[in-house]
A and B are shown apart, each in its own frame.
Chain A
Amino acid sequence: MLFKRIAYVASTLALSLGLIACSSSNESGGTESTTDSSNASSGENVELTMWAFPGMGLDEQIKKYQEENPNVTIKLQETPYGDHHQNLVTALASGSGAPDVAVIESEYIERLKENQNQFHNLKDYGADDIAGDYLEWRWREASSIDGSFVLGIPTDVGPMAMAYRVDIFEETGLPTDPDEVSEALGTWEEYIEAGRQIKEATGGYMFNFASDMFRVVRDQGQEQYFDMEGNFILEESEQIKRAWDLAVEAQDISANIERESTEWGAAVARGDFATVFLPPWMLQQIKDNAPETEGLWNVTQIPEASGNWGGSLLSIPAQSKNAESAYEFIAWLNAPQQQLEIFKERGNFPSTPSVYDNEELQSFSDPFFTRDDLGSMLAEAAGRVEYVYRSPETRALNIIMRDAVASIEDGTATAEQAWNTAVEEAKRQISR
């Protein structure tokens, strides 16, 4: 979180310059593009600008695409996560400066789907032909409810698994074999119970942040704040209630350390908590922050059900005059083979089930996390993910709920106060 913020402010200036630069390059691109939209692949030079946020691991594949298609130049511009979407929305609103290819993270998909006219409908470019390559729920997320509009091509998915510290489990006398752990910690109640045992035996915590636990349990349900008809069900939703109760219950085994902070890095390195909720992209973060813990980890299924955390779409803003070339590029970039390469390189998990049985994916392993069938384990987790309906308000509501759980953990509110504040604030937000 901290680093996002740092990068945010640091890049604000650079961004405003970048916007100017972009708009001017778009103008010059406009003159070329009138011709190359018709014969993009036939050798005319095309320059595509692409906006993404760091950590997507696309660089190598983009390089490869340019080698294979020498007439295409991809200009990749990365800005931090929060920023990236703000810039995109601003560029769309101002009617100029938007890139040819824009990444949209799942939190923002529903909001941008409301503004379909700002994007090219990828159906017009042949998206139907490749729909079958992708996980069904992921494609549904990328399309309008009636399926007539496709906003983007899915990148990776974030099926939840759980990493745990073998040494801490051993010290406590818990099972250490992944299958046995997954069996012993089959429900969240058992998970919390094991956490208390760990705390008693070692004095350490079970996980980092109660709000993260809320999020993980919430995402295991198919309905969150809204039902499929769009009714606001925060107060009635079984899944929200369960996530809330568990997060409140588990306060004593949470270390109260936010993810992606300096503190988190230090805490992982020191082994302050025994488990980490693990979307596949988190593997790299553990390795980066705590290189000395190599071999102390193992990975298993998370209690009860998997869920998805993260993943993006590659979309083409309506402002792009190179839509055809852009489509060819993103269809290639997110094709099963490329997603497999990115997975091998960075651990971002493919959204294309056809490669799940692939030998390379199945046998993917990492000595850092001990188990040698990491790939097949994650594929199994991905298979457990189901479609979740999200709404344009989901992101704002996520923040409200995250803060509510965190305020209990900080001790600035009781569970009841926090719940009431959150419900009130949520209602106020969506009523405007």
Chain B
Amino acid sequence: MATKSALETSTTKPVSVTKKKNPKLFDQLAGYAFISPFFIIFAIFGVYPLFFTAYLSLHRWDILGEKVFIGFDNYIALFTNDPLFWKAVGNTFSIWFISTVPQLMLALVLAFLLNQAFLKGKGLFRLAVFMPNITSVVAVAIIFSAMFGTNYGVINYVVTLFGFDPINWSGSYLGTHVAISAMVMWRWVGYNTIIYLAGLQGISKDMYEAATIDGANKTQQFFFITIPLMKPIILFTVILSTIGGMQIFAEPFLFGRGASNQGLTMTLYLYEEAFTRFAFGYASAIAWVLFLIIIIFSLINLFITQRIKS
């Protein structure tokens, strides 16, 4: 934005003063020069890897040796003979679902509370709620991993206080999914809360006042005014969470994917293929399939969004 406005002001001035074309051309070039860093970096780190990955996915390559061209064998293997990949897809969707649904609900309720007139120290609460999001994901994962420890974890201590058996968090499907989802949730609830808060502030106070006069209580106001008017923003956060959820990596990586690969997500699988097993060609094929899955999933999202909007 800044570049653009600078460009506009500088183009109008010289043109009115001098009649030559050169300064204008110079300004145009300067404009491109100013925005070029992004495109150069994007070309090197975005476009080139994209095509190189496509090229690699048709090869067998252990990074140190020669690339061997094998056509579509990687893709064929991925679709016909790779139980782990499909397990990873399932895990990813499961973790995405367990983390996103309660996360967005909680965020909406929190935003509603933070938006109340009676609340003192709003700034402090807003900051507090956003803090987890800027905390290092590594630190979060380490602390949560310790909390979710099977034998000496805080959470199991509480669980046993209530008379239940300790839960094997890192050694069962549901346990691992819940533990990873908890980390994701803790980190992203605040982020969504702030977005919802912005949305809430766009809703006119008159509506709430009118509802109060008509005798509607807070709960009714929440369900009949807040939620319907927030629909577009809720859809926006759903899309964001979907894209984020498909790429969950650091949490399962640090928590441990578990002996039955119950915490193996798609991106973690990609990483392990490349850097643990040095199968770079295969990992590249996974990357492309992952890309397709995210596109398909986003299109479905978009379709539903359009339907709801109209």
B151 and A257 contact, CB distance less than 8 A: yes
A114 and B63 contacting across the interface, CB-CB below 8 Å = no
Within 8 Å of chain A (Cβ to Cβ): is B84? Answer: yes
The docked-state distance in angstroms from the alpha carbon of A318 to that of B123 is 58
Q: Given the known A-B contacts A2-B145, A5-B253, A6-B142, are A410 and B259 also in contact in the complex, defined by CB atoms under 8 Å?
A: yes
A407 at the interface (CB under 8 A from B): yes
Interface of A is mostly: helix
Q: Which residue of A lies closest to B63 (CB)?
A: A93
Query: Is A411 in contact with B171, judged by CB distance below 8 angstroms?
Result: yes
- Give how many A residues have a beta carbon under 8 Å from the other chain's beta carbons: 46
Q: From DSSP, what is the main secondary structure of chain B's interface residues? A: loop
Segment with Cβ contacts to B, from A151-159, A162-170, A396-404? A396-404
Which of the 9-residue segments A237-245, A294-302, A424-432 touches chain B?
A: A424-432
Task: Report Cα–Cα, A403/B257, bound state, in Å.
Answer: 10
- Which of B141, B152, B262, B277 interacts with A396 by CB under 8 Å? B277
- Shortest C-beta distance, A69 to chain B (Å), equals 32
Please indicate the chain A residues that have their CB under 8 angstroms from the CB of B260 in the complex: 403, 407, 410, 412-413
Shortest distance between the CB of A151 and any CB in chain B (Å): 13
Contacts of B278 in A (CB 8 A): 89, 111
CA separation between A428 and B253, bound complex, in Å?
Answer: 23
> Which residues from 79 to 133 on chain B have a C-beta closer than 8 Å to any C-beta of chain A?
81-84
- Kindly name the residue among B152, B172, B261, B282 whose own CB sees the greatest number of chain A CB atoms within 10 A: B152
Q: How would residues 256 to 300 of chain A score, 1 for a CB under 8 Å from any chain B CB and 0 otherwise? A: 110001110011000010000000000000000000000000000
Interface string of B119-162 (1 = CB under 8 A from A): 00000000000000000011001100110011111000000000
Cβ contact within 8 Å between B149 and A263: yes
Whole-angstrom CA separation of A404 from B168 in the bound complex: 17
B277 touches A429 (CB 8 A): yes
Selected contact of A404 from candidates B259, B262, B279, CB within 8 Å: B259
Question: B256's contact among A1, A92, A111, by CB below 8 Å, is which?
Answer: A1
Please provide the chain B residues from 48 to 92 with a CB less than 8 Å away from any CB of chain A in the complex. 60, 63-65, 77, 81-84
A407–B64 alpha-carbon span in the complex (Å): 33
Does A324 interact with chain B (Cβ within 8 Å)? no
Interface string of A383-414 (1 = CB under 8 A from B): 00000000000011001001111110111110
What's the count of A-B pairs with C-beta under 8 Å? 99
Q: Could you say which of A262, A409, A424 has the most chain B C-beta atoms within 10 Å of its C-beta?
A: A262
Q: Is A115's CB within 8 Å of the partner chain B?
A: yes
| B152 and A267 within 8 A (CB) | yes
| B65 pairs with A114, CB closer than 8 A | yes
Residues of B within 8 A of A395 (CB): 276
B250 at the interface (CB under 8 A from A): yes
Q: A65-110: which residues lie under 8 A (CB-CB) from chain B?
A: 82, 86, 89-90, 92-93
CB-based nearest B residue for A269: B152
Interface contact A115-B65, CB-CB below 8 Å? yes
**Bound-complex Cα distance A241 to B84 (A):** 25
Determine the residue in chain A with the shortest Cβ distance to B254.
A5
Known: A5-B256, A402-B259. 10 other contacts (CB 8 A): A2-B142, A2-B254, A256-B168, A262-B146, A262-B149, A403-B259, A404-B259, A410-B260, A412-B258, A424-B83
- Enumerate chain B interface residues (CB-CB to A < 8 A): 60, 63-65, 77, 81-84, 137-138, 141-142, 145-146, 149-153, 168, 171-173, 250, 253-254, 256, 258-262, 275-279, 282
Closest 4 CB pairs of A and B: A410-B171, A406-B259, A407-B259, A412-B260
